[in-house]
Amino acid sequence: MLADHDVEDEPLTSYFADVTRECNAFRILLIGKSGSGKSTLVNEVFDFEYEGSATSDYSVGDHDINRPILSSTNRSLILHDSKGLESGSDKNLNIVKRFLNDRKNGPVADQLHAIWYCVEIPLGGERLFEGGDLALLEYLKSSSVPLIVVFTKLDKLQFSERMRLQKEYASKGQDSKAMRNAKEQYVAAAAKKYQSSCIDVLQSPNIPKAWSHYCAVSMKQPQTIITLIELTKSLLDSSETLDVLFSQAQMPDVNYKVNLSLRAGKNMYRMGMFASALPLKGIRKVSLLKVLSVIHSDIVQVWNLQDPDEILLGANMRTMIRRLFVEPLILPALDCVAAASDGNSAQIIANIAGACFNPATLIGPAVSNTVKILDDIADATPSAARVLMAYIIDLTLGMESLHWLVRHKDGKTASEKDVIEAFSHYHVSENRKEAHKKIRNFIGDENILLSIQRDKVLSKAGEIVGKCRIDPKKMFKGRQ
């Protein structure tokens, strides 16, 4: 098996470390009244559990907008929370203004990166914005910080409309069929009410145009959360650092994480091919193994899974990826072991994966023999290209598998058992077999020039990932 060894490499800066050198966390200001659903929204988007808070909104009486809110469940995010701005609340309005002004300049790490203005969708004619809200929105018109108005509790509005329609049908003595029609009509009725009570008001001349986008969210409708994430992302395109940090911090949008994983791999691919192209092993300053290690670190960090035991960035994890995915690509005969196992392939692969987490199993002649394989690959450009492609593709899809597995667990913490299960499932899946088939078909031994064309290779890698994505309902059926 391919194993870490004693090659002396020069320090190699990863894509992720380079992009986040000046800032390592995304900073959001939440504005909205207590009870508007701010903390529930944050938990849903970021798996962010504020130590000391319950699932309800943070206590207004105890909260200080200047005090960053941190969480051990997601260290890629920094929150600030303001009090609700009721009419005549000049003191609180001035505190928020002063905070915004203080964060206007200085290092990017200290600046605000986005503002989510949370407003609960009114059900009975309540005012959407108070006087303090209007004053703050007027002030924010001159701000460069992206601001999204988030209308919360859409499901509550839909439920209210459903009950109203059912009551209306019942009062008219209509039959059960008509009652069932209420289920089909309440979504449209809620959308109409949302338009009149929220969107029309927000877009009226009476409301200062400080916002960039708006959306409605429901914790029961995941796509509404994805919409908020996509809107926020669209406002960060001018800053690669903030785009990377927000992708890392958010958890539900898997497409966002897959795309960033491929981007991270693309930026290290050239270094990997450079390492393989130097003709003399003795003068190679950066080994291919080192490049794979950096690619591994970058992609794992993108997924931002809770990993208190530091399993995902450990040497044993890297060894598992190389043994399960890289070696079968180098020596296709190894890929036949599981295929010839009469239905026990998943268990065999799980045993191999588990052995990689037991250091005692990594000692012996096999280590030095397979190190030589990697050195030989480093002198064969197409082989190196296939190894790099496979590592990027397989780690990305394996992390996607692990993401789905962990998100449906209580606590959402990755264990060694979860890692073995997720990557073993992916290994024996048709997804992985098809991905490796496409890699071998794309880069043959004669394709030296193609191997060094990074953009073409990584574009193909993105295409392969797109066609071999994980379906969590199939892969983890019974665990959803």
> 8 or 164: whose pLDDT is higher?
164
Are 219 and 119 part of one and the same domain? yes
Provide the pLDDT confidence category of residue 149 given band limits of 50, 70 and 90. very high
Structural domain includes residue 16: no
Are 355 and 379 part of one and the same domain? yes
> 352 or 228: whose pLDDT is higher?
228
Are 373 and 235 part of one and the same domain? no
The pLDDT of residue 382 is above 80: no
Range of the domain at 284: 253-475
Are 333 and 210 part of one and the same domain? no
Are 381 and 440 part of one and the same domain? yes
> 399 or 175: whose pLDDT is higher?
399
User: What pLDDT is recorded for position 38?
Assistant: 93
Are 104 and 230 part of one and the same domain? yes
- Cβ neighbours of residue 451 under 8 Å, at least 6 residues apart? 273, 381, 382, 384, 385, 443, 457
User: What pLDDT is recorded for position 455?
Assistant: 80
> 84 or 125: whose pLDDT is higher?
125
The pLDDT of residue 467 is above 70: yes
To 10 degrees, what angle do helices 381-407 and 254-277 make? 160
Structural domain includes residue 212: yes
Quick one: residue 446, left, alpha or beta (phi over 0 = left, psi -120 to 50 = alpha)?
Answer: alpha
Are 164 and 60 part of one and the same domain? yes
At which of 219, 249, 279 does a domain end?
249
Structural domain includes residue 381: yes
Structural domain includes residue 388: yes
Write the pLDDT tens digit of every residue in 31-60: 998 889 999 999 999 999 866 544 344 443
Structural domain includes residue 177: yes
Q: Please state the φ and ψ torsions of residue 212, each to the nearest 5 degrees.
A: -95, -40
Structural domain includes residue 301: yes
Are 69 and 181 part of one and the same domain? yes
Burial class (CB in 10 A: 0-12, 13-18, 19+), 192: exposed
Are 381 and 398 part of one and the same domain? yes
Write the pLDDT tens digit of every residue in 124-147: 888 999 888 999 999 999 999 999
Give the pLDDT mean for 80-95.
76
Q: What percent of the chain has pLDDT over 90?
A: 52
Provide the pLDDT confidence category of residue 479 given band limits of 50, 70 and 90. low
Are 294 and 393 part of one and the same domain? yes
CATH at residue 139 = 3.40.50.300
At which of 249, 270, 292 does a domain end?
249
The pLDDT of residue 282 is above 70: no
Rounded to an integer, what distance in angstroms lies between the CA atom of residue 268 and that of residue 289?
A: 12
User: What pLDDT is recorded for position 13?
Assistant: 77
Rounded to an integer, what distance in angstroms lies between the CA atom of residue 169 and that of residue 183?
A: 12
Give the pLDDT mean for 413-442.
92
Structural domain includes residue 127: yes
User: What pLDDT is recorded for position 66?
Assistant: 92
The pLDDT of residue 415 is above 50: yes
Q: Which amino acid is at 349?
A: I
At which of 249, 275, 304 does a domain end?
249
Output the average pLDDT for the chain: 82
Are 260 and 188 part of one and the same domain? no
User: What pLDDT is recorded for position 1?
Assistant: 44
Rounded to an integer, what distance in angstroms lies between the CA atom of residue 128 and that of residue 419?
A: 47
The pLDDT of residue 220 is above 90: yes
Q: Which amino acid is at 448?
A: I
User: What pLDDT is recorded for position 64?
Assistant: 85
> 346 or 127: whose pLDDT is higher?
127
The pLDDT of residue 276 is above 80: no
Give me the number of domains the chain comprises.
Answer: 2
Structural domain includes residue 317: yes
Q: Which of 218, 28, 211 is nearest to 121 (CA)?
A: 218
User: What pLDDT is recorded for position 82?
Assistant: 87
Are 240 and 257 part of one and the same domain? no
46 touches 74 (CB < 8 A): yes
Provide the pLDDT confidence category of residue 271 given band limits of 50, 70 and 90. low
357 touches 368 (CB < 8 A): no
Rounded to an integer, what distance in angstroms lies between the CA atom of residue 316 and that of residue 356?
A: 6
Give the pLDDT mean for 245-270.
92
User: What pLDDT is recorded for position 176?
Assistant: 61
